[in-house]
Amino acid sequence: MKYDVALTLYEGKGSVAKNIESINALKNLKPSDKVFIKPNIVFWATVPFPKWGVITTSSVLCEVVELLKDYGVSNITIGEGIVTLKPNDKETAAHAFEYLGYNTLAKRYGTKIINVFDSSFEKVKLDDDIEINVSSDALHSDYLINIPVLKTHAQTVVSLGLKNLKGLLNIPSRKKFHNPDETKNLHYMISRLYKLLPKGTTIIDGMYTLERGPGFDGKPHRSNIIISSENTLSADMVGAKVLGHQPDSIPYLAYAAAEEHRDADLSDINITGMPITDVAHYHEYTFPYTDDGTLPEKLHAMGIQGLSYPKYDLTMCTYCAALNGAVLTAITLAWQGKPWDEVEVLTGKKMQPSGNKKHTILLGQCMVNLHKHNTTINAIPVKGCPPDPMETVTALHKAGIEVNPLIFEHLDSAPSYFMERYKNKPEFDEDFFTIKG
């Protein structure tokens, strides 16, 4: 069996429809279908921040909605679950939906817009042992349109259609994906999730692609690529190749291919449009660390001594990941050239102390719980899920690292500082993330 994938360039309005129709990807859609659209809003801030390669462009989303209306579909829901550092934060999602023009689509076409955290979830079995809670709206739709961004990811190498569906889970289920099990880990969980949801079409938005994603601190490129397929795995394997990564080297793609009794080498994929080689460009997926994995290369190059900050693993969930970057930035700015007093910072759910440090900072409730009975270390716990930013400051100060507390007091505005990189670069156009009323 051959799977069709369309790989074309975005050349302005109409490009998305042209891509989809080149392989008749909506042939199984009926006008009476209840359609659920899942964009990718991995992060949002109420201050200006770099969205390029991070978030699904509103231009692509709007074209999809208009195409559905042309097909006679009237029951359309756009849903996303944006993770925020403050639990029960409703304002951030509301701001995102307004800014991105989703509310304009609701007024213009009667499209329903939902924050999945405001709706209901349903228990489903991921396998014989694992239950997760999935958005009821998505689960009970007739047709699912998945619109991820074409980007790499620090933990999973790439983040495309399969991984984008993780945004349909409630928070406890998302945390469950980052479990310490060596076998049923994050890759395993991602590889099975898409099978639980309705069939439909995946449209990968590569208008902007992103290196070292998934967040705003990565490196975006204006790439003008659209990839679509009725088979999510096929779209993802092509997307991985476009990003310069072999699909069979990415565990969750290899697992999913094995489940479908397929090879992850694209041998059963028919590509319409253009060859992968015409647009492929290697995208780094992680910031480099020292050979022993105990310090980011940037910190090592600065000459930082007396600190061990082991590289994150698959068990670090989004909550700790959101704070992790701020901690590293604060440590970088706090360095004065004098070695610190043998400090280590542990993250995730399974890291073990080195046994030879004077201070062991346990960042996040998972680390605190794992080592709460460990009497062999001088533990400095940072409790909470997510960890409290100001408790993080206290812990670092206690270990002798005098970070500036203002960095953590103003975390909400920190993303705006990254906008300076894009001044006088017209290819990074904010208008792609708006829909005119």
Pair (303, 397) in one structural domain: yes
Query: 6-23: per-residue pLDDT in tens?
Result: 999 999 999 999 999 999
pLDDT tier for residue 360 given thresholds of 50, 70 and 90: very high
Pair (34, 86) in one structural domain: yes
pLDDT at 106: 98
Pair (265, 385) in one structural domain: no
246 CB-contact burial (10 Å; exposed 0-12 / middle 13-18 / buried 19+): middle
Q: What's the CA gap between 377 and 401, in Å, rounded?
A: 18
Query: 136-154: per-residue pLDDT in tens?
Result: 999 999 999 999 999 999 9
pLDDT tier for residue 86 given thresholds of 50, 70 and 90: confident
Pair (90, 157) in one structural domain: yes
**Is 87 a residue whose pLDDT tops 80?**
no
| Domain harbouring 84, CATH code | 3.40.50.11440
Residue 368 lies in a domain: yes
Query: 173-211: per-residue pLDDT in tens?
Result: 999 999 999 999 999 999 999 999 999 999 999 999 999
Percent of the chain residues past pLDDT 70, beyond the cut: 100
- For 229-233, 255-259, 315-319, 333-337, which range has the lowest pLDDT when averaged over its residues? 315-319
For 102, 112, 117, 249, the CA distances from 120, given in Å and listed in that order, are 21, 15, 7, 36
Question: Could you tell me which of 64, 33, 25, 257 has the C-alpha nearest to residue 162?
Answer: 257
pLDDT at 248: 97
Give the domain-ending residue among 240, 265, 285. 285
Pair (194, 312) in one structural domain: no
pLDDT tier for residue 62 given thresholds of 50, 70 and 90: very high
**Is 93 a residue whose pLDDT tops 80?**
yes
Pair (301, 347) in one structural domain: yes
Residue 228 lies in a domain: yes
Residue 429 lies in a domain: no
Query: 254-302: per-residue pLDDT in tens?
Result: 999 999 999 999 999 999 999 999 999 999 999 999 999 999 999 999 9
Residue 424 lies in a domain: no
pLDDT tier for residue 47 given thresholds of 50, 70 and 90: very high
Residue 387 lies in a domain: yes
pLDDT at 18: 98
Give the domain-ending residue among 259, 285, 311. 285
**What average pLDDT does range 368-381 have in this prediction?**
97
Pair (120, 225) in one structural domain: yes
Give the domain-ending residue among 253, 285, 317. 285
Indicate the number of domains in the chain: 2
Backbone angles phi, psi at 229, to 5 degrees: -165, 155
**Is 131 a residue whose pLDDT tops 80?**
yes
Pair (315, 363) in one structural domain: yes
Phi-psi category of 24—alpha, beta or left, where left has phi over 0 and alpha has psi -120 to 50?
Answer: left
pLDDT at 66: 98
Mean pLDDT of the chain: 97
**What average pLDDT does range 234-259 have in this prediction?**
98
Residue 422 lies in a domain: no
The residue segments making up the domain with residue 409 are 297-416
Pair (258, 119) in one structural domain: yes
Residue 82 lies in a domain: yes
**Is 84 a residue whose pLDDT tops 90?**
no
